[in-house]
Structure 1
Amino acid sequence: MIRNKFMQESTELAHRAFPINVFHTAFRDRDVLALHWHEHFEIIRVERGQAVIQIGGQHWLGKPGDLIFVNSGELHSVYSPERDFLMYAVVFHPSMTALHASDSDSFELVSPYTAGVKSIAAKLTPGDDHYATLNGMLDLLIAEFRGGEPYYEQSVRALCRAMFACFARWFSEDAADVRLQGFRRKADRFKTLLDVIGRRYMERITLEEAAGIVHLSPYHFCKTFKQLTGLTFVQYVNLHRVQEADRMLRNTSLSVSEIADKVGCGSLQSFSKLYKQLRGASPSRARLRE
């Protein structure tokens, strides 16, 4: 799973004909699954530790056992302040709910959710109604996917369809509410801005320019951006720069000074200060720990 992009995520799936993957993700100290979106559905289960999970404009504290459903196209992120956090994320394309290519019943079931007419609002904790059923199905789906036994693809497809049908039956929300529709329109506009940040984070993007991309005044832009991301615009860009720097520290032989320049920090001193503020250690020390 791509973990350093504030944009549409290019999720690694099994293959085009079987668009699903299961991620067993361990977080390092104060790690972040950056704000992103994708056309797939996603089911998250917290295995160990705690994390702040953001979906749209809502934030939850995810604890062991919690199940969270992420709708297609929904902005979401995960941040854990702990040293030891582990979660499962099952990511699957809406087509996984079809048992065969011409399955018109599946289209009728899923299309309102991919079109944004309906959404699934589910954050379940152990002991909640329907938790045991859905958690058991998730266990079976993960085991089938990882086991690779004969006919496992057919079994996984059937489980995706059954789980989605259960989520839709028990936790469906109509998007007819004016506030929800307005929020979705704002989120859609901001996806364009996230793409711009992902491509140009090393440049200076002014507040006025960012506000212009989403057709808002700077005042309303700042308010809406904080609502959507939980961060100010400057905090958001800086976090992206540091995450890109992390990638370079791990995967390249570039000097810290060269990395500072590539991520758009004005000087080595300002980069080191920013990095230490967000990561709790200097970039040189972080590289030694890898």
Structure 2
Amino acid sequence: MTYPLELREGTKEWDTHYPIRIHRNRASASLKDDVILSLHWHESFEIIDMQAGRAVFHIDSHPYEAQEGDLLFVPSGGLHIGYSTEDGPVEYVAIVFDGALVSKPVHDPVYDRYIVPYLDGRASLPVKIRAEEAEEFYLRPLVREITSELERRDDAYQLVVKHKMELLFALLARRFLPRKLAEKRPTTRNAEPFKPLVEHIRKHYDEPLSIEQAARMVNLNPYYFCKIFKKLTGRTFVDYVNGHRMNEAERMLLHSDLNVTEIAERVGCGNANYFTKLYKKYKGMPPSQALRS
């Protein structure tokens, strides 16, 4: 279902390499029927962890009553709103994340079997998991560990959160993914035309390639090309190309005698300053540090 753009949640741009945010929502003196979550939608997934009080969340027109310990999973594009169902304090944590957070840039058949069905829309996460079940299958403790990491922001918290999100999806698949769906190979109909393009990027990563040029290679207009490419890879086209270039740059930094300027030219970034900025964004360190490692 398509919802009005005016209800789309207005948020700042994602960090494309770490697309996850957390919101802790508290109402210390909520009244029955108070709105505790305004009506909106977004293209991201959302986990709602009820931590105090009682509420009802309408997700895609279906009401789900929630109390302490319950988990709700809002699907990508799902219209949702929440109301308190009693007087008193209400608290919940909302974890909003893009599917790219738990996607993989390389082929992994086990990953494709259990996690990709949730990312490409072939399977839906259960909207509500009751507190007892969330505890029994380690889902609620895991969500709260993710919350703690996101709020404390200790060193390398991004890696810990990504790992725990992948574990969360794996546990959800173990509990809820229909066996027939897990055993069914994902369709490759939409992927086939993209294989020559991906091979071109792999071989010619040093050459400029615009979205318009790439779209023509698969006979799509740029809008649908971008949409399908992200659905197939979990990343935008520009993000995918830059990521591949930085992977190649890392290989050269570690296994060749080329200097930073030479490597920048080899991967299609003629400007060494731009290359340094890009490398740091993707690898978390300047290329000069990789050279010393």
Q: 1:33 aligns with which of 37, 40, 55?
A: 37
In structure 2, what is the Cα distance between the partners aligned to 1:133 and 1:142? 14
Structure 1 letter corresponding to 2:73: F
What's the CA shift for 1:159?
A: 0.9
Task: Quote the residue 2:226 is aligned against.
Answer: none
Provide, for residues 235-282 of structure 1, a one-character-per-residue CA deviation record: whole Å limited to 9, x for no partner. xxxxxxxxxxxxxxxxxxxxxxxxxxxxxxxxxxxxxxxxxxxxxxxx
CA separation of 1:60 and 1:171: change in aligned 2, threshold 3 A:
same
Q: Any unmatched runs of 5+ in structure 1? A: 177-290
Q: 1:133 aligns with which of 104, 123, 138?
A: 138
Task: Quote the residue 2:175 is aligned against.
Answer: 170
SS for the counterpart of 1:166 is: helix
What's the CA shift for 1:8?
A: 1.9
Task: Quote the residue 1:91 is aligned against.
Answer: 96
Task: Quote the residue 2:59 is aligned against.
Answer: 55
CA separation of 1:129 and 1:146: change in aligned 2, threshold 3 A:
closer
Asked if the contact 1:22/1:89 (under 8 Å) is kept, the reply is: yes
SS for the counterpart of 2:7 is: coil
Task: Quote the residue 1:281 is aligned against.
Answer: none
SS for the counterpart of 1:128 is: helix
CA separation of 1:20 and 1:42: change in aligned 2, threshold 3 A:
same
Task: Quote the residue 2:128 is aligned against.
Answer: 123
Q: Any unmatched runs of 5+ in structure 2? A: 182-293
Task: Quote the residue 1:68 is aligned against.
Answer: 72
In structure 2, what is the Cα distance between the partners aligned to 1:131 and 1:57? 29
In structure 1, what is the Cα distance between the partners aligned to 2:122 and 2:62? 19
In structure 2, what is the Cα distance between the partners aligned to 1:83 and 1:6? 31
Asked if the contact 1:67/1:125 (under 8 Å) is kept, the reply is: yes
SS for the counterpart of 1:33 is: strand
Asked if the contact 2:55/2:82 (under 8 Å) is kept, the reply is: yes
2:162 is the counterpart of 1:157: yes
What's the CA shift for 1:144?
A: 1.4
Asked if the contact 1:8/1:37 (under 8 Å) is kept, the reply is: yes
Provide, for residues 129-182 of structure 1, a one-character-per-residue CA deviation record: whole Å limited to 9, x for no partner. 6645011111211111122222111111111111122223322479x9xxxxxx
What's the CA shift for 1:108?
A: 6.0
In structure 1, what is the Cα distance between the partners aligned to 2:176 and 2:44? 18
What's the CA shift for 1:123?
A: 1.7
CA separation of 1:51 and 1:129: change in aligned 2, threshold 3 A:
closer
SS for the counterpart of 1:38 is: coil
SS for the counterpart of 1:119 is: coil
Considering only CA atoms, is the larger Rg found in Structure 1 or Structure 2? 2
Task: Quote the residue 2:20 is aligned against.
Answer: 20
How many residues align? The count is 170
Provide, for residues 54-100 of structure 1, a one-character-per-residue CA deviation record: whole Å limited to 9, x for no partner. 122321211111111112122222111434211011111101113x6
What's the CA shift for 1:101?
A: 4.1
In structure 2, what is the Cα distance between the partners aligned to 1:173 and 1:151? 34
In structure 1, what is the Cα distance between the partners aligned to 2:19 and 2:161? 11
Task: Quote the residue 1:43 is aligned against.
Answer: 47
2:93 is the counterpart of 1:112: no
Asked if the contact 2:73/2:128 (under 8 Å) is kept, the reply is: yes
Task: Quote the residue 1:268 is aligned against.
Answer: none
In structure 2, what is the Cα distance between the partners aligned to 1:6 and 1:46? 27
TM-score if structure 2 supplies the norm length?
0.51
Asked if the contact 1:41/1:92 (under 8 Å) is kept, the reply is: yes
Identity, % of aligned pairs?
27
In structure 1, what is the Cα distance between the partners aligned to 2:115 and 2:41? 18
In structure 2, what is the Cα distance between the partners aligned to 1:142 and 1:164? 16
Structure 2 letter corresponding to 1:51: A
CA separation of 1:31 and 1:129: change in aligned 2, threshold 3 A:
closer
Structure 2 letter corresponding to 1:94: G
